């Protein structure tokens, strides 16, 4: 390069060699610094867009905190009124109007200061974003969990109603996808109502541990201000406190419990969906058009697409649980920025599974069970064999011997003659010495076989009807439990609004 060429070089080019003794390496160092300074890191840190979900929760938490600060004399009433008025304006403007910030919490505080000046910063007295965000997540998640629990209650109502309509609708029952014993559509659907009962219980149990207030923990070591933690808990409808301040700020096990509960629910739904898909393939059940689709090329097809998607939701929920556990594993105590990525797994899982619950319930409610086809299939594969063996055992034949007799009969047919022939080969006396022909033929009939199994929880129509009566009691109780929790949250929201109105 000539001297004249150097004279035409930019100031940055001339300065670059001086930036490092490495000459060209120094120039590259400047370029790297310019490329990676500022924007990328700040954007990576920000959760503002994702925080839209907890925008309303943060406003509620801010209001409760400010009311408590004013009541405790930590912030004067005039400043409290100004802050609360600004929060009302921010709420009306919506999340999209917030200024840029690392998260929704900082953005709301900035918006308050923009409206009322420096005194807006008093809103953050005696707290940290650590206890604030933990409170916001709990505040929002508890409602989502109630929504999911309510969806399970409604699904159980559907299952119980349809089961009641089909307590006498005989169908094949399977183990290992092989014909096993006849049962009924009512018994089959009632089994899923029973499973969903436990899913409801898990969600309500999780709610109890979600609905605890971490506010007042500050960063993790509490605060020297004379805060009233119980007051903010009451104003926000929390049932109590997470008392230890370090635990309050850092704990996310309530996310694990919630995500595990919805993953279990998704697994229940996936089993129901699989049974319905298989049933549709066999011609045992037909889906309403709203829950099926046609092929783009094969006009004769009616595909149970919604149930296939319900089935797949179990994978989404399991992945969310695994992602959450992986994020939390090995974190040191108190706050770590990893936690910013934790709650999304729970929110996404609960959304997906709640929707899947509603869709599965709709599919069952509108499906058409093919009664004649089911009855014809109920006895396939000598599915009444166990009933015949039980009959012989009840008449004094050792069960293992009876099992051998019926197994031998299965190789010859599935009628009385096959059983009588096998009995003649293996028993010391003719079959009629133990049981008459009418009893054997009744045991061979799928409907009679079902009716004979009338023990508690069995498929006999009377047993299923009794189980459904009990199920309806449980459905009503769980529905009341969800409603009671919603009412408590609504009452707390009204109380908070009343207190805010005394200032703003």
- Taking the C-alpha atoms of residue 422 and residue 426, their distance in angstroms, rounded to an integer, is 6
The C-alpha torsion from 54 through 55 and 56 to 57, rounded to 10°, is: 40
- Taking the C-alpha atoms of residue 427 and residue 420, their distance in angstroms, rounded to an integer, is 10
The C-alpha torsion from 112 through 116 and 119 to 122, rounded to 10°, is: -30
* Residue among 127, 111, 105, 90 nearest 48 (CA): 105
Label each residue of 112-136 as H, E or C.
Answer: HHHHHCHHHHHHHCCCCHHHHHHHH
User: Cα separations (Å) of 280 from 6, 176, 273, 303, 443?
Assistant: 80, 18, 10, 9, 28
- Taking the C-alpha atoms of residue 107 and residue 100, their distance in angstroms, rounded to an integer, is 6
Q: How many CB atoms lie within 10 A of CB 411?
A: 9
Q: How many CB atoms lie within 10 A of CB 127?
A: 25
* Residue among 361, 363, 388, 373 nearest 170 (CA): 373
Question: CB of 145 within 8 A of CB of 464?
Answer: no
Residues 6+ apart with CB under 8 A from 149: 200, 203, 204, 207, 478, 482
**Catalytic center residues:** 176, 295
Question: CB of 320 within 8 A of CB of 263?
Answer: yes
Structure tokens at 380: 């396939």
Count of residues making up the chain: 504
Angle, CA 327 vertex, CA 322 and CA 330 arms, to 5°: 115
- Taking the C-alpha atoms of residue 378 and residue 459, their distance in angstroms, rounded to an integer, is 13
DSSP assigned state of 302: -
User: Cα separations (Å) of 224 from 127, 213, 409?
Assistant: 10, 18, 83
Q: Which residues pair with 368 in a beta bridge?
A: 286
In which residue are the tokens 């594969």 written? 381
- Taking the C-alpha atoms of residue 302 and residue 159, their distance in angstroms, rounded to an integer, is 23
SS3 assignment, position 19: helix
């Amino acid at each position: 390069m000539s001297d004249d060429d150097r004279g035409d070089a930019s100031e940055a080019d001339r300065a670059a060699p001086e930036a490092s003794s490495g000459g060209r390496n120094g120039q590259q160092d400047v370029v790297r610094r310019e490329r990676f300074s500022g924007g990328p890191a700040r954007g990576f840190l920000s959760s503002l867009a994702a925080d839209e979900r907890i925008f309303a929760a943060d406003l509620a938490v801010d209001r409760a905190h400010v009311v408590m600060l004013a009541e405790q004399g930590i912030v004067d009433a005039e400043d409290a009124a100004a802050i609360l008025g600004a929060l009302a304006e921010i709420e009306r403007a919506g999340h999209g109007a917030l200024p840029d910030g690392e998260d929704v919490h900082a953005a709301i505080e900035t918006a308050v200061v923009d409206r009322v000046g420096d005194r807006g910063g008093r809103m953050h007295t005696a707290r940290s974003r650590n206890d604030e965000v933990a409170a916001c997540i709990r505040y929002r998640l508890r409602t989502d969990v109630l929504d999911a629990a309510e969806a399970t209650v409604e699904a159980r109502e559907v299952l119980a109603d349809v089961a009641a309509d089909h307590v006498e609708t005989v169908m094949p029952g399977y183990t290992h996808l092989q014909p096993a014993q006849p049962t009924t559509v009512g018994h089959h659907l009632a089994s899923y109502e029973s499973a969903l009962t436990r899913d409801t219980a898990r969600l309500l149990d999780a709610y109890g541990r979600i609905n605890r207030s971490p506010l007042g923990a500050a960063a993790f070591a509490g605060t020297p201000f004379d805060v009233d933690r119980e007051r903010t808990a009451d104003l926000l409808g929390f049932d109590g406190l997470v008392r230890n301040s370090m635990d309050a700020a850092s704990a996310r096990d309530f996310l694990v419990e919630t995500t595990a509960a919805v993953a279990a629910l998704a697994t229940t739904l996936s089993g129901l969906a699989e049974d319905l898909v298989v049933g549709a393939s066999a011609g045992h059940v037909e889906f309403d058009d709203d829950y099926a689709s046609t092929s783009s090329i094969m006009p004769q097809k009616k595909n149970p697409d919604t149930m296939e998607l319900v089935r797949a939701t179990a994978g989404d929920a399991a992945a969310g649980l695994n992602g959450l556990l992986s994020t939390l594993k090995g974190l040191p105590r108190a706050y770590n920025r990893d936690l910013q990525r934790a709650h999304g797994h729970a929110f996404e899982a609960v959304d997906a599974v709640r929707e899947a619950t509603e869709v599965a319930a709709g599919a069952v409610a509108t499906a058409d069970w093919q009664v004649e086809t089911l009855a014809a299939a109920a006895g396939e594969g000598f599915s009444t064999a166990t009933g015949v063996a039980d009959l012989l055992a009840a008449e004094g034949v050792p069960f293992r011997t009876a099992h051998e007799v019926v197994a031998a009969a299965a190789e010859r047919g599935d009628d009385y003659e096959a059983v009588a022939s096998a009995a003649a080969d293996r028993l010391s006396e003719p079959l009629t010495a133990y049981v008459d022909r009418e009893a054997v033929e009744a045991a061979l009939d799928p409907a009679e076989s079902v009716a004979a199994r009338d023990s508690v929880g069995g498929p006999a129509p009377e047993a299923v009807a009794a189980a459904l009566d009990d199920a309806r009691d449980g459905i009503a109780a769980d529905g009341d439990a969800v409603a009671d929790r919603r009412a408590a949250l609504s009452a707390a929201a009204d109380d908070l609004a009343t207190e805010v109105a005394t200032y703003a």
